[in-house]
Amino acid sequence: MTRQHAAQHSVAAPDGRRLAVETSGSPDGPAVFLLHGTPGSRSGPRPRGIVLYRLGIQLVCYDRPGYGDSSRHEGRRVADAAADVAAIADDLGIERFAVVGRSGGGPHALACAALLPDRVTRAAVLVGLAPAGAPDLDWYAGMSETNVEDYGQADEDLAELTLNLKVRAEQTRRDPMTLLEFLRPQLPEADIRVVDDVAIRRLLTDMYAEALRHGPEGWIDDVLAMRRGWGFDLGAIHAPVRLWHGEQDRFSPVEHSWWLASRIPHAEVQVQAGAAHFGAVEILPQTLAWLTTPELAASPQL
């Protein structure tokens, strides 16, 4: 995983907000938008440049509103991501593209697939969440104590949620390792193995530092958006969708992917034993291959 050889610039959203964008890989290859997690930023872990060039992929990452250098969009819904992605694609001269969302980015990737049907070729969700109030799903079952508290406060005590995330963001700005240390007691062994890799840990802490550099607004707005109506119909997604989940995930339990698959017309689910939430970092190269070059998706070189 790397962030080297990436081009950064700013794009105007339809309402005049600024969106911080970073592209890497093959500039002439099929484009894939990688939508980061919660909290996260455009600088998150991604495959090395040589892997992207081997796949022939142009990878496009951006800071969701309120994160990093992107302007805040207070009150945003998950559905609003589609207009932002379309604006970035227009600015880059990209007509059609695939999308992949990691964790909190998963619902936003599905929004693009539902609302940009003529542009999104395929979509993937790695350790994603189902909508709040999803029928026949115990939304909080198996979820970590921290997530239960944060999402519960989004419903019941916005002032408390805001205060808690401000404190956590300030601690992360001073020392990005504090967020991983805060999460560590809640991590299963599969996640500890991933985050203890020196290179991955550095990429994660750099991502958190960038995400929260100007404050916790993006994080707050993400949590609120997850608990509100998403603003689109999952049944309107007609592109192929792959839902990947680590069996031991405690942040977005695997039952969320099974529920999504039951509502999305052309969805397949892959549940990996011995993996958890941060396994999404390791599975990304194979996912990118499936999105653009499916015959390479099982290559051992990835």
Sort 159 into a burial class: Cβ within 10 Å, 0-12 / 13-18 / 19+: exposed
pLDDT in tens, the chain (302 residues): 444 456 889 999 989 999 999 999 999 999 999 999 999 999 999 988 788 988 899 999 999 999 999 999 999 999 999 999 999 999 999 999 999 999 999 999 999 999 999 999 999 999 999 999 999 999 999 999 999 999 999 999 999 999 999 999 999 999 999 999 999 999 999 999 999 999 999 999 999 999 999 999 999 999 999 999 999 999 999 999 999 999 999 999 999 999 999 999 999 999 999 999 999 999 999 999 999 986 555 555 54
Q: Are strands 267-272 and 241-246 parallel, antiparallel or unpaired?
A: parallel
Range of the domain at 277: 7-296
Instruction: Find, among 104, 105, 85, 103, the residue nearest to 95 by Cα.
Output: 85
Do 92 and 49 meet the contact criterion of CB atoms below 8 Å apart?
Answer: no
- Specify the pLDDT at position 4: 43
CATH code where residue 197 lies: 3.40.50.1820
Q: Report how far residue 251's alpha carbon sits from residue 283's, in angstroms, rounded to the nearest whole number.
A: 17
Alpha helices in the chain (DSSP H): 49-55, 81-92, 105-115, 145-156, 158-174, 177-183, 189-195, 198-211, 217-227, 255-263, 279-292
Could you tell me the CA-to-CA distances from 136 to 51, 133, 258, 271 in Å, in that order?
A: 40, 9, 11, 20
Query: Is residue 97 situated within a structural domain?
Result: yes
- Specify the pLDDT at position 269: 97
Query: Is residue 1 situated within a structural domain?
Result: no
- Specify the pLDDT at position 172: 94
Take residue 107 and report the two structure tokens written for it: 């619902």
Query: Is residue 302 situated within a structural domain?
Result: no
CA angle 148/150/153 to nearest 5° reads 100
- Specify the pLDDT at position 64: 98
Query: What's this model's pTM, rounded to 2 decimal places?
Result: 0.94
Query: Is residue 301 situated within a structural domain?
Result: no
Residue 142 amino acid letter: G
Please state the length of the chain: 302
Q: Report how far residue 203's alpha carbon sits from residue 180's, in angstroms, rounded to the nearest whole number.
A: 12
- In total, how many domains does the chain have? 1
Query: Is residue 2 situated within a structural domain?
Result: no
